Amino acid sequence: MELRSANVTQGVERAPNRSLFYAMGYTKEELDRPLIGVVSAHSEIVPGHAHLDKIAQAVKDGIRMAGGTPILVPAIGVCDGIAMGHVGMKYSLASRELIADSVETMAMAHQFDALVLVPNCDKIVPGMLMGALRLNIPTVVCSGGPMMAGVYDGEEVSLSKMFEAVGARKIGLIDDAKLEECETGVCPGCGSCAGMYTANSMNCLCEAIGIALPGNGTIPAVHSRRIMLAKHAGMAVMELLKRDIKPRDIINEKSIRNALACDMALGCSTNTVLHLLAIAHEAGVAFDLALFNEVSAQVPNLCHLAPAGPTHMQDLYAAGGIPAVQAELVKGGYLDTSLITATGKTVGENIEGAFIKNHNAVRPLDDPYSATGGLQILWGNIAPNGCVVKRSAVAPEMLAHSGPARVFNSEDEAIDAIYKGQIKEGDVVVIRYEGPKGGPGMREMLNPTSALAGMKLDRTVALITDGRFSGASRGASIGHVSPEAADGGPIGLIEEGDIIAIDIPNASINVQVSEDVLAQRRAKLVMPEPKIKTGWLSRYARLVSSANTGAVLK
């Protein structure tokens, strides 16, 4: 087996390189083995990452057991919940590109033979995977696992309940004591927040696409099986190296379709649209938004995890996890079971014997929550290039809705109006100039959506934006409107009081204004000044592409 690491460990010419390894205490025996990068996003600022030192150590143990030399390197990570609602959120999505670049940089500069990626939250998972796809060296993803659900008012809850509690407090539905009870109870420990939010969505989809081992998406962070999984991930990457199985052998058009089928069944975050598009881009796979609706029309929604329903990731794990969901989807012919995965086995071999153990968490195909999938792409004169809604988290009465536009040129203006009680039943809140370029960074809108839910307006008020939503958002929250306002998109032409018609089942979203009037408005439109003019975010704003292509850098 020819190793890339020979470029830094072998031969007379590499004596200077070896001397630097020896400076760190590596032995000749270690340098004669494959060098495996363990990319850990451990930090003391992200609850989902606070324990990744233990996960990374278990991965290293597995690599050593299988004959490799593990080498720990770092990655950054933004906690979306802590960054939410202020300028920090502008850095979250944009950090995905920094993470991808850093994985590529560390692996190329030091010539690692293979990688185990140890992320957990939001942008860190796709960012690491994007970097690994560029390198195309054997890779396994091993996440830190989901947080256990918290308790509030005697019920299982997670972070989305906390954001909704703020809205409830603003209009006096709860008092300060109840707010404090919620904030001290919803997040009981380490792990990615316990609902089907972006982090858990991506960790489940890594499993579904085949780049992570079974259990990656659902084994709770605090379970001993999570440590066992990490050891097995370390062993698995050595087998992939031996067999020369690379990420692009695993991630292809068929496996992405498998991931989409699971996405629809699980009711994953709308952010999976951005990230799957970006992952496909790095894998060299042609993929556009239309495929989401094609798969959604075929695959039923089987799960209503928070925020769509009362169940959480620990319930999905107890019900059999992703293998149980996959086994159910196979019954309908929705998965290709012949594809190779990070276990070195096929999808079919991985899920042999799996079944749903609890129909409260995962429904069978013959009794789904809906006959269509959890996500829907909409098109219309507001979004010629598409936008996305988490259909499974929309109340039935809001699947079709018309109402007057309440227009805001930033999230801050919108949340101020919501908190002041200025949004009424039937309104359609429009938040623009928050896209990848206009934000910049495409902020998540969990504060406004949760405030509306907490005020009991999620069943009567819709929200559309060229920004995006946390997986914790629920209601008729329609994001990723493309083209964005800052790129001349027609969402920038909507005026206060315009009637907006939303028809989710028929995949349409339109402002009821003639093309002539829109043309007149466009002729008079004056673009606002960029919100960020210095630092790397200004560079990001110049280089980022549209949400409908994954917001990758040009």
- 3-state secondary structure (DSSP) of residue 479: strand
Catalytic residues: 470
Residue ranges for the chain with pLDDT beneath 50: none
Interacting residues of 65 by C-beta distance below 8 A, sequence separation 6+: 231, 234, 235
**The tokens of 87 are what?**
């300028």
pLDDT in tens, 193-241: 999 999 999 999 999 999 999 999 999 999 999 999 999 999 999 999 9
* CA–CA separation, 222 and 66 (whole Å): 25
Amino acid residing at 79: C
**The tokens of 342 are what?**
């990070």
Contact at 8 Å (CB) between 259 and 253?
Answer: no
> What does the pLDDT read at residue 453?
87
**The tokens of 425 are what?**
């039943």
* CA–CA separation, 443 and 160 (whole Å): 17
Site of tokens 């692009």: 248
Q: Is the peptide bond before 307 cis (omega within 30 degrees of 0)?
A: yes
**The tokens of 523 are what?**
């002729």
Interacting residues of 253 by C-beta distance below 8 A, sequence separation 6+: 285, 286, 287
* CA–CA separation, 167 and 149 (whole Å): 21
Q: Identify which of 460, 467, 377 has the alpha carbon closest to the alpha carbon of residue 414.
A: 467
Site of tokens 């790129």: 487
* CA–CA separation, 119 and 237 (whole Å): 16
* CA–CA separation, 436 and 90 (whole Å): 9
Q: What is the CA radius of gyration of the chain?
A: 23
> What does the pLDDT read at residue 297?
96
> What does the pLDDT read at residue 473?
84
Cβ-in-10-Å burial (0-12, 13-18, 19+) of 524 comes to exposed
Contact at 8 Å (CB) between 274 and 388?
Answer: no
Main-chain phi, psi angles of 311, to 5 degrees: -90, 160
Q: Identify which of 474, 462, 450 has the alpha carbon closest to the alpha carbon of residue 305.
A: 474
* CA–CA separation, 41 and 112 (whole Å): 18
pLDDT in tens, 324-335: 999 999 999 999
